[in-house]
Structure 1
């Protein structure tokens, strides 16, 4: 491997790690729900697939419209995370133990969409580079899946420590991440 190839690989890994960190943060918040291991695996796979599909969709639209959709994707993602966060906090104060939004069915799709909208704007900004796109998309999905699993597992441990307050804390994490997307520094 030459220096240029190593630099390209390193750049791709750093980009995929950065994109996966939002999935980790969201997974940390959602992991505070009582989830079975089968659900955790499924959530990670679905988020990984969304982190592959969203940048691929962005690549298909091209760089020329990146300025329009990049900001819209961040706004939509931020609003979805705020909605999920508010619902988790609200449901943590309900007498019954069933959360309002769970990462099952449509809730899982909403969760995966909110976690991967920023990768859509990254796909828009990448443009079409040829064969390396397949590797890039694979790395985005793989890293997001791994980091989602890490976040969900850490959230699961925190949930055991915090008990009934864990869902409210998870909601606060989602709220904070939604605000971060809406108001970047």
Structure 2
């Protein structure tokens, strides 16, 4: 392989990683609108980054064996999870207590990370069919998604201070809209 083809492949993978990471940014922006400490923001970014490594890796391995049927199922599941989380956040914003029903801690963090990484599973299936370089691909997806999640969370945290009580409803609306976009591409 010559340097131009390697560079071209790196640029292509980086663009794909950015495209996949934008959902992590969007969800991070929505999650950042609830009160989070910096330590939570750090762990959320790491967790979503790990899921963006693990999910396409599994997808690539399965994609080498199967067709892309599971990609559609993964997208539908991810969209449905984001819609449910968005609705939950919107309803929680109208309750009198400050504690949301699902928070990005423990099981809630796993649900958030899974919902935004299911589309990377679908991409992994496709890349597995075409025989992409596994290690480079999944590491780029993970690192870019982690960084974009942190950026989204930090921007959301900053905006949350300006919006006050309405910030959680806005965050839920972002998750809801992104879930609908996954289910009904327009």
TM > 0.5 fold call: yes
Report the equivalent of 1:37: 38
Moved more, 120-129 or 36-45: 120-129
How far off is 1:2 after superposition?
A: 2.1
Q: Is the 8 A contact 1:66 1:121 kept in 2?
A: no
Matches of 2:8 and 2:60, distance apart in 1: 22
The change in CA–CA distance for 1:66 and 1:41 in structure 2 (over 3 A counts) is farther
Which residue number corresponds to residue 172 of structure 2?
171
Contact between 1:81 and 1:114, CA under 8 Å: does it hold in 2? yes
Cα pair distance change 1:139/1:78, threshold 3 Å: same
1:63 Cα offset (Å):
4.8
Q: Quick one: structure 1 residues 170 and 66, their matched pair in 2 at CA, closer, same or farther if it must change by over 3 Å?
A: farther
Using the TM superposition, give the Cα deviation of residue 66 of structure 1 relative to its aligned residue in structure 2, in angstroms.
Answer: 3.8
Distance 2:44 2:96 in 1: 27
Counterparts of 1:27-66 in structure 2, within 5 Å, are 27-63=28-64, 65-66=66-67
Please report the TM-score for the alignment, with normalisation by the length of structure 2: 0.96
CA distance in 2, matches of 1:148, 1:55: 17
Residue pair 1:85, 1:170 contacting (<8 A) in 2 also: yes
Aligned-pair RMSD on alpha carbons? 1.2
SS of the residue 2:95 aligns to? coil
C-alpha displacement at 1:162, in angstroms? 0.2
Partner residue in 2 for 1:20: 21
The alignment partner of 2:170 has SS state of: helix
1:14 Cα deviation after fit: 0.4
Where structure 1 has 5 or more consecutive residues not aligned to the other structure, the ranges are none
TM-score (norm 1): 0.96
- Give the 5 Å matches for 1:1-185: 2-63=3-64, 65-127=66-128, 129=131, 132-185=133-186
**1:74 Cα deviation (Å)?**
0.6
* Secondary structure in 2 matching 1:97: coil
2:182, 2:139 → 1: CA distance? 24
